[in-house]
Amino acid sequence: MTEQNDKMSKDGVSRRSFLGKTSAALVAAASLPIVAAAQQTRDLSGDTHTGVNEQERGPKNPSLEAQEPDSMFPPTTDAGGQPPFKYPMGFARKRIEAGGWTRQVTIRDFPLSKKMAGVEMRLIGGGVRELHWHVGSEWAYMTAGSARVTAVDQKGRAFVEDVKEGDLWLFPGGVPHSIQGLGEDGCQFLLVFDDGNFSEYETFLLTEWLHHTPKEILAKNFGVDASVFKNVPKEKFIFPTELPRSLAEEKKQVYAVTGPVPDTYAFYASTMKPTKVTAGGSVKIVDVHNFPITGIAAAIVTLKPGGLRELHWHPNADEWQYFVKGTARMCVYAAAGRARTMDFHPGDVGYVDQSMPHYVENIGDDDLVFLEVFPTAEYQDISLGEWLSHTPSRLVDEHLGTGEEFLAKISKSEVVVTPEK
């Protein structure tokens, strides 16, 4: 809010700072120039929002309000009834099992998130998310530790790999798979699904399927005695067990006869060279062009303090966001005179509808890292700067009145993260 407040002090009193805290302050201010009156109002307590019209006399939730200053005191450019586009993972109910825990944010929790849903999961060392599958594709990003992931495709070809913090995977819809925490402390990761109605608690589970299949049918299917299946549980979901055998040993076992999947389901983004680097930060784009199996595109964005994910929009898909670390401010313009600014912290989920322009700014003292995820195979965006720089400058100037000299200096290439130099 500092830049906004500095601007307010130069431009004059705002609707927020017009009134002082007491009638004495108002009388004194009446004899001063407007700018000086505004400054005196701020000086009363050191708080920039001290006007009588800004006071809260009723119930407060200070801890929550402190996390959302741009809703408490919105920029004067905000307007209209744009609904919230943020939902903290911390609001989601956590299901805790012996092998770890999980929680989710779906359209049921976050109505704006129509086309995507997200799940956070923690697995202890050896903890397993049991063998299962689901209709939608699963895109995952490792936020801590390491895991072993397995899958088998429609031709019986196998996949087994280890992934660590900063890596990701993609399991196409219908492909059965598992996840297991490695090492002493296991892992934590984010899952994103290309279906807002997805539920982590309604997946197709190996144990549940066999539990609900008559034992004589199982025996007939495998040509064994029905007693083989006497210990099949109703559900395991997330459970503790021993660590897996070595990766080399397990690969040798599962690749027998049919071999590995032709296109890997893992992508080692932790060692990927950034797609774009500027003075303001960097971005790694992972989509079908460098990860052929994926039907879900993503960008891993790092902004240095003060850095800006430039003004832009995505013409081909909605954007689902997850904030990994740092503190951010995002403004979304929704047309029809509507715009809203909100603040984001680690663990927050954001959502921006297709083609709605927005920016993300690092307002903290540390690097900001967040994910942009899209239910489409190809990453696409259009930046404001690139649009203006490739439109006749006279035409643009007639719209904006900025002068053609300014327009001539805009980069002809998309900057992505500012400042560029």
Active site residues: 372
Would you say 312 is a known binding-site residue?
A: yes
The reply, when asked if residue 138 is annotated as ligand binding, is yes
Query: What is the C-alpha separation between 133 and 130, in angstroms, rounded?
Result: 10
Residue 249 labeled ligand binder: no
Structure tokens at 373: 């995820």
Backbone angles phi, psi at 155, to 5 degrees: -105, 15
Determine whether the annotation assigns residue 65 to a binding site: no
134 is in an annotated binding site: yes
319 annotated to bind ligand: yes
390 annotated ligand binder: no
Q: Would the annotation count 132 as a binding residue?
A: yes
State the binding site: 132, 134, 138, 177, 312, 314, 319, 358
State the binding site for Mn(2+): 132, 134, 138, 177, 312, 314, 319, 358
